[in-house]
Amino acid sequence: MRRQFIKGSAAALATALVGGGPARAQAKMTINVQYPLGFIFDKVFATLKTEFEKANPDLAVNYLPAYKEYEDAAQTALRQAITKQLPDVALQAINLQRLFVDRKIAVDLTPFIEKEKDWQGQGFSPSMMALGTYGGKPYGLAFAVSTPIVYMNEDLVRKAGGDPEKFPTTWDGIFDLARKINALGNDNVGLFYSWAITGNWMWQALVFSHGGRMMSEDEKTIAFDLEPGKRSIQLLGRMVGDVGMPNLSPEASRAAFFGGKLGIWTESTSLLRVADHGVAGKFKWRTARFPVPGPDARLPTGGASALMFATEPARQAAAWRFMKFITGPEGATIMVKGTGYMPPNSVPATNPAMLKNFYAEKPNHLTSLSQQPLMTAWYAFPGDNNLKIIQAIKDRLQTVVDKSAAPDAALAAMAADVTKLLPK
């Protein structure tokens, strides 16, 4: 009796195994993807997943919990690399891709691109590919790019006697207007400069817009402590000192603007859709160009790139299809409509069915596009201490904003800190 039972179950097991075999082979492959900045990207990636799975029925996309910020994204992924828990595709800050290339974690995309027909024709222009190319080899596909812009609460600007149509293009003009908004009372804040974004991006924006650079051409010595840097740090000091800019956390500054209490807010264009939802029609707002005192002004290109971390050929092939989708014309259209970023892909902006009409209806999104001629690389510091350098810059900027150090002293200290961390 018992033997009968054992035989029977063995047979059942065998059938299950044999029967299950082909079924398993046909099962969908799931690719793991991780992206940062959930509050900006969550909805976009949900749509991307739906559309991608519709077009690729043999693949499923699984999102790992979103990285908090860009630095956190890089740190987490580097830890994942040690514990062998990397996702197949990760979205990383454009200026932090280098970490993964140097450590041989990111996969060289050359063989995949070679198999594609008319790569450029799909909108992957040389300028887009340059954002993810290191040592002549493509590693990252730029997914979303941004520049810093000015957000203004039109109601507050008007109340303070300003004209949103003729918004000041100089910092002096902005400071005057901000002081008038402060004077309105009722907890209204004139200006907040989001200095803390990814540690050093808004600092690069100030220095580049004054015609400066982060390091010398040969990347041996720092250059942000020269004249343009001095003017930049003075400007930050004046924002806190003369204009009374409060020391807000990024969350608090968003809440202040969305609550109608913040008049002028310099932020990344990436928050446009977040602002649409946050303000929810409570007041009129619009965007203006970031002041560029020059000479030879530039603005850093913020944003994220898709990197391939998968190692097995089958997974790599699947990962490639996802990367190509999200950075291609269709993915870029979804991304732009859901955020405030600009599309690195060149197809959608010219195709009326994709984004041309969208831009006609959403003038706020055009501000950053109009700054495109000024765009330059988001500088990545050389060496292993890249992340620590970003933290050192952020720490010193903070001393200016919380008034614990004089601007010039803070800049000198920042220069000393960063010099120590550069490769010797």
Partner 1 sequence: MAESSPRRAGTLNVLLLTMPAVLLMLVFLVGPLLCVIALSFTDYQLGAPSLSLIGLANYEEMNEDATVRISVLNTLIYVAVVVPASVALGLGAALLIEADRGLRGFYRSAYFLPVMATLIAMAIVWGFMLDPRIGAVNFGLKWLGLEPLDFLHDRKLVLFTLCGIGIWQSVGFNMVLFMAGLTAIPSELYEAAAVDGARHGPSRFALVTWPMLAPVTLFTVVITAIRAFQVFDTVQVLTGGGPNKASEVLLHTIYAEAFGFFRVGYASALVVVFLVFILALSVVRVFILEGRRPAP
Q: Is position 82 an interface residue for partner 1 (rule: CB under 8 A)?
A: yes
Contacts 24+ apart (CB under 8 A), 393-398: 393/199, 393/200, 393/203, 393/417, 393/418, 394/196, 394/199, 394/200, 397/195, 397/196, 397/203, 397/236, 398/196
Yes or no: say if 342 and 372 are a contact pair by the CB < 8 Å rule.
yes
Q: Binding to partner 1 by residue 259, rule CB under 8 A?
A: no
H/E stretch holding 30: strand 29-34
Whole-number minimum distance, CB 130 to partner 1, in Å? Answer: 27
CA distance 209 to 223: 14
Q: Which of residues 87-106 bind partner 1 (CB under 8 A)?
A: 103
Quick one: which of 44, 107, 387, 414 contacts partner 1 (CB under 8 A)?
A: 387
Q: Which listed range, 39-47, 72-80, 273-281, 294-302, lies at the site for partner 1 (CB under 8 A)?
A: 72-80
- Residue with smaller CB distance to partner 1, 80 or 133: 80
Count the helices and strands in the chain (H runs, E runs): 18, 13
Q: How far apart are CA 343 and CA 27, in angstroms?
A: 34
Angle at 210 between CA 204 and CA 213, to 5 degrees: 50
With contacts defined by CB under 8 A, how many residues of the chain interact with partner 1?
18
Contact window for partner 1 (CB under 8 A) among 19-27, 55-63, 77-85, 346-354: 77-85
According to CB under 8 A, which one of 186, 218, 249, 373 is a site residue for partner 1? 249
Residue 78 interacting with partner 1 (CB under 8 A): yes
26/249 with CB nearer partner 1: 249
Contacts of 352 (CB under 8 A, 6+ apart): none
Task: Tell which residue, 385, 414, 421, 424, has the closest CA to residue 226.
Answer: 414
**Shortest Å distance, C-beta 387 to partner 1:** 5
Query: What's the closest the beta carbon of residue 384 comes to partner 1, in angstroms?
Result: 5
Residue 388 binds partner 1 (CB under 8 A): yes
Where do contacts with partner 1 occur on this chain (CB under 8 A)? 75, 78-79, 81-82, 103, 249, 384-385, 387-388, 391, 395, 398-399, 402, 404, 420
